[in-house]
Amino acid sequence: MAVLLTGGTGYIGSHTAVELINAGYGVVIADDLSNSEESVVDRIRMITGTAPVFYRADVKDRSKLEKIFAENDIEAVIHFAGFKAVGESVSEPLMYYRNNLDSALSVLETMKERGCTRFIFSSSATVYGMHNQVPFREDMPRSSTNPYGSTKLMIEMIMEDLCTADPSFCCVALRYFNPVGAHPSGLIGEKPSGVPNNLTPYIQQVASGIREKLYVFGDDYDTPDGTGVRDYIHVTDLAAGHLAAMKYSSDSRGFTAVNLGTGRGYSVLEMVRAFEKVNGVKIPYEISPRRPGDIASCYADVTKARELFGWEAGKGLEDMLRDAWNWERNRTASE
């Protein structure tokens, strides 16, 4: 028996592969390498001692999925594959809808045909939209503010409709807050292409001298220091949340959505200061205008994950920022 990870060589997928292998699961990865590298497969082997089965495959291609299901005994799918840059989704909406919706539909259709009924999906806190009050709870109304967020919301709706129509399915939407850090080995981590969109990868590149300074997007939000507040979670904690969801899905049915966060928010300036303190480097920054679409505060109510999965994040900001910098130095040294 094995778990299929679509997008399994990506940032969150690769850390989840490590967690699953360490817990004794067989892992099959399907990834088209559009935003990752095949060398990650070997790095997963170096960390765990076991190489996952790897297919270079675009999961929109049903024939490739059929082959993977025919050649492996797939008990569940964790669907990471998808485009994820919010800004790009605004300028290329058709590309985002086509890619993200087609891949989810193709995976679910193949699963239904094959009688594989456990589906875990990389959703996002972005589905809480602009109008809810923090902390975000899973039963709050959903909305989206950009095409990327709309694809997450639509796929959650597809999962709900499928579970209503076919009660044998168990579909779990994991709503990620802000994953940061990397595996403590420094062998896998996030590898942004071009200018990083996200805060910690940007800080890492300032620390390593690739970028001159950080632009802090707004200091006039309704938060303690005026800068945006987010719920940063260590990527290995996030990966462990997938393991907990796998266990949950083995004897549950129907649709459920679960927040994966720490329940604690930090501001941009708190992140900068913590990075400087933990890693002993200076991060020059400049206050710049707000980024369109950003909200003031985003953090999770983590009660449901604790009650349903028996899971909670264990690592703190120091671990996240130390491991992020360790990865950045390893990565730039090997390039």
Active site residues: 148
- Give whichever of 108 and 125 is closer to ligand UFG, judged by the CB atom: 125
CB under 6 A: which stretch of 37-45, 67-75, 193-201, 309-317 binds ligand UFG? 193-201
228 scored as a contact of ligand UFG (CB under 6 A):
yes
331 scored as a contact of ligand UFG (CB under 6 A):
no
Spatial distance between the Cα atoms of 148 and 124, rounded to a whole number of angstroms: 10
55 torsion bin: left (phi>0), alpha (psi -120 to 50), beta (else) = beta
Minimum distance from CB of 236 to ligand UFG (Å)?
18
Determine whether 1 is exposed, middle or buried from the number of CB atoms within 10 Å of its CB (0-12, 13-18, 19+). exposed
145 scored as a contact of ligand UFG (CB under 6 A):
no
174 scored as a contact of ligand UFG (CB under 6 A):
no
Cis before 135 (ω within 30): yes
Spatial distance between the Cα atoms of 137 and 245, rounded to a whole number of angstroms: 18
- Give whichever of 65 and 216 is closer to ligand UFG, judged by the CB atom: 216
Tokens of 330: 């390893």
- Restricted to residues 82-101, the positions that interact with ligand UFG (CB under 6 A) are 84, 86
24 torsion bin: left (phi>0), alpha (psi -120 to 50), beta (else) = left
Residue from the set 22, 140, 217, 276 that interacts with ligand UFG by CB under 6 A: 217
CB under 6 A: which stretch of 36-44, 120-128, 164-172, 318-326 binds ligand UFG? 120-128
- Give the interface with ligand UFG as residue ranges (CB under 6 A): 84, 86, 124-126, 149, 178, 197-199, 202, 214-217, 228, 230, 268, 291, 294, 298
